[in-house]
Amino acid sequence: MSAWPNLSDLLIDDDSPVPIGLVGAPLAAGSVTPGGCDKAPSLLRETLRRIGTYDVEMGRSIFTAIRDRGDVSLGGMSIEEATGPITEAVAASVADHALTLVVGGNNAVTRPAVLGLGLPLEEVGLITLDAHFDMRDLDDGLSNGNPVRALIEDGLPGGNIAQIGLASFANTAKMHQDALAAGNLVVTMEQVRRDGIRSAVERAIEHVSNCTAVVLDCDIDVIDRSQMPGAPGARPGGMQVADFFWAVRKIAEYPLVRVIDLTEWDPPLDPTDLSALTAARWVAECVAGFESR
């Protein structure tokens, strides 16, 4: 065993039947703020070797193997064109693994991640850690700014959607009103600060407890910009990164969670390694939560 066991030791690339699958979805098309989100999956893999496996809180190392299923080939595709291939890749992973991690790419990958469950949308729950409602209009087509609205139009009930971390001065009144009208649970960033991340997560899990399976969307721009400079949509006043990690672990612990995505990390925006290390630790938190089920 290595003197410094790290997350890359957990990755395998063969067909062994392991509990967790990793799917890269390097989608850049259709971003409200164009950038390099498609570079995220490869850099995340490179950075895993810098994150250890020993958790001082649990007093043991995480150990669950992760099958790296590679990246979906999306070169030059629009969001509409990419939806099918991403959905198929997620569906194949869901069939093989108890938990699938989807590494975007921009937030438009969340819709095919949900569709990849292959369930009637009335049975699917969606929890988002996101500064934004993702409820932009669909008039101009799909974008990273409207996957939640698109899923509601597909038939996902608002009663199955819980959104945590919504930020002031980053959304519109119409998005807020439409989310509430649909029945979404809305937990603002100020509510997280006032009541704590534990309360927010407990409310979200209760909101989706009637579902058969749940997707957790981790739009990394929910984190305060000073702690996640590689997220183009992140702003000052966002979620503390420690709260983000706690929420990811706690939600991953919930047995109904079948898919967790990480989106909106744009590596070229951060000349340091801070954002990469944050994204790589997200993997550790997902695995730790899964092992606590």
Query: What would the pLDDT profile of 192-233 be if each residue is shown by its tens digit?
Result: 999 999 999 999 999 999 999 999 999 999 999 999 999 999
**pLDDT tens by residue, 74-97:** 988 999 999 999 999 999 999 999
Give the domain extent around 50. 7-291
Residue 1 counted as domain residue:
no
pLDDT at 4 (0 to 100): 86
φ, ψ of residue 257 in degrees (nearest 5): -75, 120
C-alpha distances (whole Å) from 266 to each of 33, 37, 137, 188, 247 are 10, 4, 24, 24, 22
pLDDT at 237 (0 to 100): 97
CB-side neighbour CA atoms (13 Å) of 162: 21
State what percent of residues in the chain have pLDDT above 70.
Answer: 99
CATH classification at residue 134: 3.40.800.10
pLDDT at 2 (0 to 100): 66
For residue 238, say if its preceding peptide bond is cis, omega within 30 degrees of 0. no
Residue 2 counted as domain residue:
no
Strands 54-55 and 124-129: unpaired
pLDDT lower than 50: segments of the chain: none
Query: How many structural domains compose the chain?
Result: 1
SS3 219: strand
Residue 203 counted as domain residue:
yes
CA distance 247 to 141: 31
pTM of the model: 0.97
Residue 145 counted as domain residue:
yes
